[in-house]
A and B are shown apart, each in its own frame.
Chain A
Amino acid sequence: EIVLTQSPATLSLSPGERATLSCRASQSVSSYLAWYQQKPGQTPRLLIYDASNRATGIPARFTGSGSGTDFTLTISSLEPEDFAVYYCQHRSNWPWTFGQGTKVEIK
């Protein structure tokens, strides 16, 4: 099973700041990596698929990058609605797994 390790566990930032979230895979997942956002009491929302493709309706301030084992989700300028938990997830081979999540909180 491929393990995805997200860092940091918590990111404390202010609105308008840049957020950089990391996801590291225990072995290569090629570009088969997605990012999801989950707000309290809500279902997850797909942000990025296949490492760098924004899902439908996702603002341009969200950017995904990386391949192999190291991936990054960047939020260029945090909006109030971006404070949430973010999960990475691979689909390289079964079982598909999620990272443990990074919480982006208001500083």
Chain B
Amino acid sequence: QVQLVESGGGVVQPGRSLRLSCAASGLTFSSYAMHWVRQAPGKGLEWVAVIWYDGTNKYYADSVKGRFTISRDNSKNTLFLQMNSLRAEDTAVYYCARDLYRGYDMGTVEYWGQGTLVTVSS
């Protein structure tokens, strides 16, 4: 079965960096767009970033553009999120997620990881 396992979360001071990883198994990782979606405590869902199945294109939410970088290693079935210049408002559970569709048709999440909590606090 499909498994997405995030790691790398924790407590970090404002202005510092953190790198999240997501190990995927049970799926043809390289055929699907992958996403990071976050959820602040007690709040709703916010799309953070998406990367095309082949890594050729990436989109970011305005709230993280210029600070976060999504990347993937298809040879290792792993997704990453490099988060720099972290702010208190970045505090959230970060979910790694796989798209429903193969290829370039994307934008619906079929599988979600369990999430990793990032807390930005001094």
Contact = CB atoms under 8 A, between A and B. Distances in A.
Contacts of A36: 45, 109
A87 interface: yes
B66 to A, nearest CB: 15
Given A43-B95, A43-B115, A49-B100, A97 B110 contact: no
Interface string B27-70: 00000000000000000111100100000000101100000000
Nearest to B112: A43
Bin chain B's interface residue count: 10 to 19
Contacts of A34: 108-109
B12 interface: no
A94 B59 contact: yes
B114 interface: yes
A83 to B, nearest CB: 18
Contacts of A45: 112
A98 interface: yes
A91 to B, nearest CB: 3
Given A94-B59, A96-B50, A98-B47, 17 more contacts: A36-B45, A43-B95, A43-B112, A43-B115, A45-B112, A46-B100, A87-B44, A89-B45, A91-B108, A94-B50, A95-B47, A95-B62, A96-B47, A97-B47, A98-B44, A98-B45, A99-B44
Interface of B: 44-47, 50, 59, 61-62, 95, 100, 106-110, 112-115
